[in-house]
Structure 1
Amino acid sequence: MKKLVTWLGAHHGVMAGVSTVLVIAGISLYWLNDAPIEYKASSYWVMLAFTVYLACFIAIHKSADATQNEPAQIGLLLLMLAAAFAVLLLIPLNFTSILTIIWVAKLSYFLSLARTMLVTTVVIVCWFGLSSYYWNESNVVIQAMLFGCFHLFSILMSYQTQKAERNSLQLQRVNNELLSTQRLLASTSRLNERSRIARDLHDLLGHHLTALSINLQVAELTCEGDAKQRVAQCRHLAKLLLSDVREAVSSLKENQQLDFNEMLDSIVAGLPGLQVEKSIETDFHIEEVALARDVLHCIIEAMTNTLRHSGASHFYLKVWRQDDGLHVDMADNGKVRKKLNFGNGLNGIKERVDNAHGQVQFNMDKGLKIAMTFPSLFVKAEA
């Protein structure tokens, strides 16, 4: 129960729908308390219908992305509508049509706008037709027109919400790409500065120390006595200093690696509701900036695809090197479809890998799995 409350608190739209249903149920049960005896006998059936409706409403929201059109979700939606009609046939209260207003808001996740409008029209006609026939309601046409406007408003607001969610995910993906590119550029600038310092140490200080050592060697040959010994000591110190400079230059050149883990951390930190487990067994060298950028963007595309379509809670990432090149494996624990649909995200991954002359495979096995391989031609071997 505590987990359910926590989940509802994180989904304000669901909480609003649940609250509305509970209010309608409460008013209906309160009306039944003072209703004629023939209605009181159906109190338990009314409670059951509201319970089924509410359970289906929550289950549809918890069952990941409604755009997948899975049979289980369609079944829940139909059962939810049946529960609403059951309430209509059990108690003669006009405001129970609010249940179908909530229902069409969920229907819009499954169908296009035109089809949603068509189905909604049929539901309204059936609802108020039954109300007129079963309860001898008057002014049914006026009520149908009034509640029809509410249904239309619900549908349009639902589509606007979906559009806002898609735009939000798109902005988040672009923002993550910008952040990763920014960190990549910062790391590249830092490593380029280290390279410049190493080059200056080698070209300037190393050159002067070499010249100094040679001059001291010549001076040692032309000196005698105590002066010769001191010149020899100075030449020895110059050689030690030159050796230290060379070691420093070598150390600066050997550590020319991009901190790929740090870049990934900045991406993962901005992902809502997705736990990322990563294993990075390599780093990228300064020569591989373009490759690192492509890999980062592919990872971002995969994570965004997981958030948008799979309903997964975990994302698994592994990056490592072998003799044949760089390998990147990604997977999630989301829902598996019978057929993989290639949208902008998956096509973007394929294009980036193709541009780098790599290979990519997509598999549907207990979630989406993506395996990328970049050839050794574009991957510098580890020292």
Structure 2
Amino acid sequence: MKMIKEPMFFVNVWRFLMIGVLIHLWIMEEATTNSFILILLLMIMTSLRWRFALPVWSVLVDAFICFLFFPYTAISYYGLAVPIFELTIKGRAVFSLLFFISLFFTSASPNLLFWFFLQALFFGLFSYLTLKNQKVNKLEADEQRKARYELERIKIDLLEANQSVSQQAGLMERYRISRELHDHLGHDLTGASLALQAYEYIQDPHEADKLLEEVKNRLERSTKSLRETVHNMTPTTLMGVENLEYIINNYYQIDIDWKKSGDTLQVPAYMWSLLEACLKEALTNVVRHSNATKIEVDLHVTGTIARLSIQDNGTVPNQNQTGSGLRSLQMRARSLGGSVSINRDNGFLLVCVIPMEKGGADK
């Protein structure tokens, strides 16, 4: 990529070019000591401006140097082009016009000096507008960058909030189930156990039958309550690895070799949404950009990580940039402490690795 020169580079080029013109005049017309000292002082001011951002009042120093040498050398009149240019690039073009008054008192050629001043004024105005536009563009770029960073931060916050909500929902569901089992199933089973213990000490057969009937009723209620709890816990939609298998089984465009290993029940619910999104994104990219004939999907779960890899045998364009979908997946993975990487060397490979939290799905 070519480097774009900053406007200040050309401003400094003009400054030293003017010093070069003055040196040329010194050599061609009058190689006197006074002219040399004048040029040396103006060069020092130019070098300071090259290294430091001098305030606008420093132009008075250049003007004073030129006025000081008016009686000794005509080159001092040409040196006024320097303060004209410096005032103009600072947005003080009106004040720079005052130096044109010197045209009526110069011993040099007034016509040549007029055009010399005019080009300094013109390039000063051009540099001023260019620097002003650069400043505006930088401010707009900074605002856009700030807005983009803020948007990414909000996305990450939303992903973290979604993760927290998923965990809280899991804990609330566990609490609800435990309370329901305790309030209904636990009481009935405890009552049945106590009734069986009392049954051993009852002498009256009639009372024993009544107590046995009570145990039977409690066990029936417990069985019914247990069935209802299990039924309510059973999800009505596919979840976890079953949802991945459903996506793969309903993908008819290309043959998919599906493998899984490890205990998939350890994977928390909020991680499955990212794994599902990675699978869908990879399959979509195959349809749009690849001529693959086979896809290998491998899910490997250990006590520390969940790793999903999708590899096809097709050819993809050599793209250096990553699409917005893949960038979104990478950002979501980073919010979970994981990563999403891609490789295009041999087909298209997408690998999503997410670290498992301590406690796994029990969290």
Q: TM-score, normalization: structure 2? A: 0.40
- Pick the structure with more helix per residue: 1
Based on CA coordinates, which of the two structures has the bigger radius of gyration?
A: 2
